[in-house]
Structure formats: structure tokens, C-alpha cells
Amino acid sequence: MDPTAIALAMGLQQAQTATPAAAPASTTASLLDRCENQPLFRIEGEPVRMDLTAGAWIARLRGNAAYGPISTVQQDVNTAYGLDTMEGAFQGDLSLMWKNWTVRATGSEFGTSATQSAVGAGAFGNTTYALGDTLQSSFDFYSWGIDVQSWVWRPLSKQQFPWEAPVANENLGGDLQVLAIVGGRGFGVNQQVQNVSTGAGSTYDNTFGTVIVGGGIDVMVDLRERLRWMDRLEFVVSGTWGPAWPGDGCTETEVRAQLTAWITGNVGVLFGYRYTNLELTQGDYTFSGNIAGLMVGASVR
């Protein structure tokens, strides 16, 4: 027999009897793998990914505040102090993802200021003002924290719960994850009122800490076979709540909804909404209100 034919036949036989290469065990990451989203490295064979998100939080302040000891009557910060304009603020997140876990470091800042004539008599701290006095006012909020998230249910996957064995090469065109969230946050509040007419001014400034709990939903859809110019869509909505210290009955509540259009496997643009509610009673200061508005930015994974 021709030596070439013999070699070809032996090669075919070896290919048929060869052991197939081991498939990736993770199904959580399979959609991202198929969308060419490369991991940083692997631990126990599972990919570790990093997501960096930065953008603008275009928000407005709403609420009522009082600062004794002269007066404990809460004033609407929008009408009494003119703090009602939309302001551009920074919002950023850095996340590490492995298996069903996500650890996210988050930070943001917001500030607004105004000058207007007093619409009535009142007081903030030790500063009093009369109708028509010129007031310069400001309100600043900054926050930082670390959240730990885990998906607890994936109804579209054969591996519906984290403790179940992963299914190799599960071909999901989309994924739905129900999330559980715990974490710790810190945030600061600084409010100032100065009576330009008299030269007097008062400032409240304090930092709070909170332990948060919450949940959310993460929906991802692979669009590569439908749209040549987009890799996938991801929609995440989450809500958290926690008591805050120091103070009496202080709380922080946050709700986020974010849609990210991944143009490539690693770069996406986002559009969303963030609502942060503060209920603060600390010493002579009280504030009940929220900072809320749209978010726009970009993500690199």
C-alpha cells in the first residue's frame, strides 16, 4: 500500500479516538466567553473579570432640612435656599467578578449651590435671616463603599442555583440572574447657609456609615447574530437599604437602573437612573430628601 495512504489512515484513526479537550465548567461566564470578553486570569479554572465604569450623574436635590438650636422648623431646600438646579456629578464603579460572586467598589460626589433673596424669616444653625436678606447656600454629598453581590437564581440556565454543579458549554443566547447584595458604605453631608446681608453663616458637616442589604436583577442578551455593530445588551436594576450612624433612626436607600450597550466584547456605553434617599437626624440637624437623576457613561471590561 502507498505509504502516504497508510499515514493518512492512521491519522484519521487517531483523531477519532482522541480524548476531547475539557470544556470550560462555568456556565455563568459562557455568554461572556462567546462574546469575546476575555478574563484577567483564572482561579480554579474559572475566569476572573474586571469591570471599570465611569460617568456623570446628572442629578437634582429635593428635600427639607433644619439645623438648630434657634429653629427646628424644616425648610424646603429648593424654595428657601434655591438649591433646585440639575448638577453634573461623578459616579464610578470598579468590579471584580468570579463564579457567582461580584465585589464592587463604588464612589460618587454631588454638589449644588445658589444665591437668592430669602422668601421668609428663618434660621439655620446660629444664622438668622429675614425676608429679603441675600442668602448664599450650598449642599454637598459624597459617598464611597464596597458591595458584595451573588446571583442566587438563574431561571434560564440548567445551573439554576450557585450550589448546583455547573453545566459545561451551555449555549445561552441570554441570561437572567436574580441578585443578593450586602455591603458597607460611607457618605458625607455638608450644608452651608450664609446671610450675605448680615455677614453671619453656619455650616453642618458630618460623615455617616451604613451597612446595606438589597437585591436586584441582571439581564443579558447576546446580539452578535442580530446586529453587526453591537455585541450584547445588559440591563441591571438594584435596590439597597441600610441604617446609618451616627444619629437617631438615620437611613440610606438607593435604587439604580442601568442599561449598557456593549459595542464590543470589552467596551460599552451606559444610560441609567440613580435615586439616593437620605433620612438623617443627628444632633440639631435633620434632613429628609433625595438626590436623583440620570446617569451616562462608559464601561470597560
Q: What is the mean pLDDT of residues 126-140?
A: 97
H helix or E strand, kind and range, residue 107: strand 101-117
Q: What is the mean pLDDT of residues 183-192?
A: 98
Q: Does 28 reside within a domain?
A: yes
Q: Does 10 reside within a domain?
A: no
pLDDT at 41 over 90: no
- Distance, CA of 198 to chain centre: 43
b/e burial code for range 68-78 (CB count within 10 A of at least 16 → b):
eeebeebbebb
Q: What is the mean pLDDT of residues 94-115?
A: 97
- Gap between the Cα atoms of 235 and 220, Å rounded: 6
Q: Provide the grid cell at 106.
A: 463604588
What is the value of pTM for the model shown?
0.86
pLDDT of residue 282: 96
Q: Does 6 reside within a domain?
A: no
Q: Does 121 reside within a domain?
A: yes
pLDDT at 29 over 70: no
Domain count, the chain: 1
Grade residue 19 by pLDDT with cuts at 50, 70 and 90: very low
pLDDT at 17 over 80: no
Q: Does 5 reside within a domain?
A: no
pLDDT at 8 over 60: no
DSSP letter, residue 173: S
Give the max Cα distance, the chain.
111
pLDDT of residue 35: 55
Q: Provide the grid cell at 178.
A: 436574580
Q: Does 168 reside within a domain?
A: yes
Q: What is the mean pLDDT of residues 278-283?
A: 97
pLDDT at 293 over 50: yes
Query: Across the chain, what does the average pLDDT equal?
Result: 89
Q: Does 250 reside within a domain?
A: yes
Q: CATH number of the domain at 29, please.
A: 2.40.128
* CA angle (190, 136, 283) in 5-degree steps: 35
Could you list the residue range(s) of the whole structural domain that residue 181 is in?
Answer: 21-300
